[in-house]
Amino acid sequence: MYGNHDTTSVPVEAPAADDPTFDRDFMALIDDDGRVEPRDAMPDAYRRGLVRQIAQHAHSEIIGMQPEGSWIGRAPSLKRKAILMAKVQDEAGHGLYLYAAAETLGVDRADLLDRLHTGRQKYSSIFNYPTPTWADIGAIGWLVDGAAITNQVPITKCSYGPYARAMVRICKEESFHQRQGFEILHTLSHGSPQQHAMAQDAVDRWWWPSLMMFGPPDDDSPNSARSMRWGIKRFSNDELRQRFVDMTAPQSHALGLSLPDPELAFDALTGHWRYGEIDFTELFEVIKGNGPLNAQRMAHRTDAHERGDWVREAALGYAAKHARTEAVA
C-alpha cells in the first residue's frame, strides 16, 4: 500500500504501473502529500528522476570530502583537526545514507559509482574549486554547507520516503557543519589584519559558486517542473537561492565580512535581499567538466576507488562467511 513504511512487506494495494488507474492513484497520493515507499508501484520516470537526483547528491557528498580532506593534516590546532576529521567523516556517512536510499529504487551502488567515474552522472559544481587557505574551510562550512542546508531541508518532506528520512539526519549534521564554518571565519575575521584579509578573500571566492549550487535559473531548469509536480523538489532553484541570500547577507554583517556583490541590498518592499546577476556560463562550464579542479577531483576519486578494491573484497568475503555461518546455525 502507498505510504507503507515497512519496506519488507509486499504491496497489496498499490496499482501496477500498467493499470489504467495507476497515474491517477499515484498523483492522488502525491497531491495528498503521502509518501511513496520502495515496494510501492511508481511511474518509471519518477523512479529514474529520483535515481538521478539521489545519485548525484550521493556523489557530491563523497567528492565533497576532497576539498576539506586536504586540510586535515594542516589544520591550525589539534581541536580544529579533530573537528574537521569528524566533519569529513560525516560527509562519507551522508554518501552512505544516500547510496543506500538510491539502492531502494533497485539500482546497484557499484553501477552508480561506475556512472560517476565514467562521467555519466554528475556531482555538485561547488567541489571543483580549490581550497588554498585555512579560511577556505571556514567559507565551505558557512557558505557551502549553508547552501546545502537551504536546499536540503525541504527534501526532508520529499515524496519518496527513504530519501526524505535520510535527509533528516543529514540536515542535523549539516547544521553543525555550518556553525563550525561560521566560527572559523568569525575567529579569523576578528584576528590579525592578515587573518581578516584571508577570511575576506575566501568569502570573495566562494560566494558566487555557492549561489550556483542551487542550479540554473528556473526558466533554464529542465527537471524542475516535473520534480516539483512529483513532490521531489518542494521549491524552485531561484526560490531556494533567494532564501539563502536572505539568510546569509545578515550573517555576513555579524561576521564583519562583506559579500562581493555591489548590488546586494535589502529591499524593504519585498522583504528580500536583492542580488546582482549571476554568471551562469561559469556554472555550465564547471558542469561540463571545465572547472578549475574537475580533472583532479575525478582522478583522485577513481584512484581511491581502485586502491579500495581490497577493502570491498574483504567486506564481501566477511559478509559471505557470516551468511554461511548463519545458514548452518
Helix axes 44-63, 109-117, angle to 10 degrees: 70
Task: Return the H-helix or E-strand segment holding 273.
Answer: strand 272-274
Q: How far is the CB of 54 from ligand FAQ (least distance, A)?
A: 8
Does residue 162 belong to the site contacting ligand FAQ (CB under 6 A)?
Answer: no
Binding residue count for ligand FAQ, defined by CB under 6 A: 30
CA angle, residues 293, 299, 300, in degrees to nearest 5? 90
Q: Write 264-273 long-range contacts (CB < 8 A, 24+).
A: 272/242, 272/245, 272/246, 273/242, 273/245, 273/246, 273/249
> In DSSP terms, which residues pair with 267 in a beta bridge?
272
Does residue 221 belong to the site contacting ligand FAQ (CB under 6 A)?
Answer: yes
In sequence order, what are the residues at sequence separation of 6 or more whose Cβ sits closer than 8 angstroms to the Cβ of residue 300? 66
Using an 8 Å Cβ cutoff, are 116 and 59 in contact?
Answer: yes
Q: Out of 47, 52, 109, 274, which residue is the one contacting ligand FAQ (CB under 6 A)?
A: 52
Helix axes 237-255, 161-189, angle to 10 degrees: 30
Does residue 66 belong to the site contacting ligand FAQ (CB under 6 A)?
Answer: no
Which residue number, 22 or 278, has a Cβ lying nearer to ligand FAQ?
278
Place of cell 548452518: 328
Q: Which stretch binds ligand FAQ (CB under 6 A): 32-40, 187-195, 211-219, 302-310?
A: 211-219
Does residue 167 belong to the site contacting ligand FAQ (CB under 6 A)?
Answer: no
- Rounded CA-CA distance 218/211 in Å is 13
Does residue 91 belong to the site contacting ligand FAQ (CB under 6 A)?
Answer: yes
Q: Out of 213, 245, 255, 298, which residue is the one contacting ligand FAQ (CB under 6 A)?
A: 213
Residue 279-298 contact track with ligand FAQ, rule CB under 6 A, x = bound: --------x-----------
Q: How far is the CB of 319 from ligand FAQ (least distance, A)?
A: 28
Does residue 53 belong to the site contacting ligand FAQ (CB under 6 A)?
Answer: yes
- Rounded CA-CA distance 64/191 in Å is 28
Q: Which stretch binds ligand FAQ (CB under 6 A): 57-65, 245-253, 301-309, 320-328?
A: 57-65
Residues binding ligand FAQ (CB under 6 A): 52-53, 56-57, 60-61, 64, 91, 122, 124-125, 140, 144-145, 148, 151-152, 212-216, 221-224, 227, 233, 237, 287
